Amino acid sequence: MKTNEATIEDVARAVDGELGGDEPGALVRDVTHDSRQAGEGWLFAAVRGANLDAHQFIPDVMRRGAIGVVSESGRPADFAGAWIRVKDVRRALALAAAEVHGHPSRSLNLVGITGTNGKTTTAFLVAAMAKAAGEDAALASTIEYCIGDEQVKAERTTPEASDIERFLRRAVNAGCRVAVMEASSQALDLHRCDGLRYRVAVFTNLTRDHLDYHGTMENYFAAKRKLFDESLGEPPHTSVVNIDDEYGARLAVELKERSARVITYALDEEADVSARNIKFSLGGMQ
């Protein structure tokens, strides 16, 4: 797989980290948070989770040829490889992966879709429209990940940051010009989508769900909002927002106040795009 041939020094600069160790010009083959993936020339992001601290796997990944570690902790005095100290290791993982894989989202018309309901349906519809227009499209959804005609069962709604960048690089190398992906609130909150350049961001709706994770609806909304502002690095070129939804209506107002390009859609409210005379039958909808 073609990468950007980024060096340790390049990655440290991209993640705004403090670099320690020798050979700053050494090339990074790939980056991961999963110690089982790490191999020769890979960079390992040591994430402290709720139940597991990945720092315990550092000796093992280094024995298998990893080039170094990204961590929020300082470099141990007896550590032999490269060490990049950062403020937020999850965000650094995303930015490092983007740098190593040459920012593939910048070579794609990337569409991100978020909302409580309708993400998967919308993602499949957008990918189908791209294919109908003669474009090979990549798709990352709750059900499956696709690049052209290749299909793989999905493990989660939004992959980890390094897996996303690897997927998008494969899509670019395969000749895709369009990629469509679901962006869950947890993924946005955990920085999995940081560093991606979205051409279009879509908001479907927001209903009571995932409050075991977010705590409140405002926190839930704040996580979704990250797809539309500068939280990920740069805002999308165009935002498509359902203003029949109260949170979508709020989002549209906020975006327009910032002079962002917004296309609204609705059934009940006055919007840029709306549907009328909707008919349902056993054969479908029109």
Q: Domain check: are 211 and 280 in the same one?
A: yes
Q: Domain check: are 58 and 179 in the same one?
A: no
Residue 1 located in a structural domain: no
Contact 47, 96 (CB under 8 A): no
Residue 50 located in a structural domain: yes
User: 77 is in which domain, residue-wise?
Assistant: 8-100
Q: Which of 80, 100, 120 is the last residue of a domain?
A: 100
- Cβ neighbour number for residue 243 with a 10 Å cutoff: 23
Q: Domain check: are 91 and 211 in the same one?
A: no
- Check which CATH number belongs to the domain holding 17 and give it: 3.40.1390.10
Q: Domain check: are 179 and 280 in the same one?
A: yes
Residue 2 located in a structural domain: no
Closest CA to 261 of 227, 234, 237, 233: 237
Beta bridge partners of 74: none
Q: Domain check: are 168 and 152 in the same one?
A: yes
pLDDT at 154: 79
Q: Which of 100, 119, 141 is the last residue of a domain?
A: 100
Q: Domain check: are 59 and 201 in the same one?
A: no
pLDDT at 225: 96
Residue ranges of the chain whose pLDDT lies below 50: none
The radius of gyration of the chain's CA atoms, rounded to the nearest angstrom, is: 20
Number of structural domains in the chain: 2
Q: Domain check: are 82 and 147 in the same one?
A: no
Q: Domain check: are 94 and 108 in the same one?
A: no
Closest CA to 110 of 179, 175, 171: 179
Residue 26 located in a structural domain: yes
pLDDT in tens, 179-210: 999 999 999 999 999 999 999 999 999 998 77
Residue 57 DSSP symbol:
G
**C-alpha to C-alpha distance for 98 and 15, rounded to whole angstroms:** 10
Q: Domain check: are 120 and 226 in the same one?
A: yes
pLDDT at 26: 93
Mapped onto helix, strand or coil, the DSSP state of residue 87 is coil
pLDDT at 1: 53
pLDDT in tens, 13-32: 999 999 998 888 999 999 99
Per-residue tokens: 52:
């597991």
pTM of the model: 0.92
Q: Domain check: are 15 and 87 in the same one?
A: yes
Contact 223, 214 (CB under 8 A): yes
pLDDT at 2: 53
Q: Domain check: are 96 and 110 in the same one?
A: no
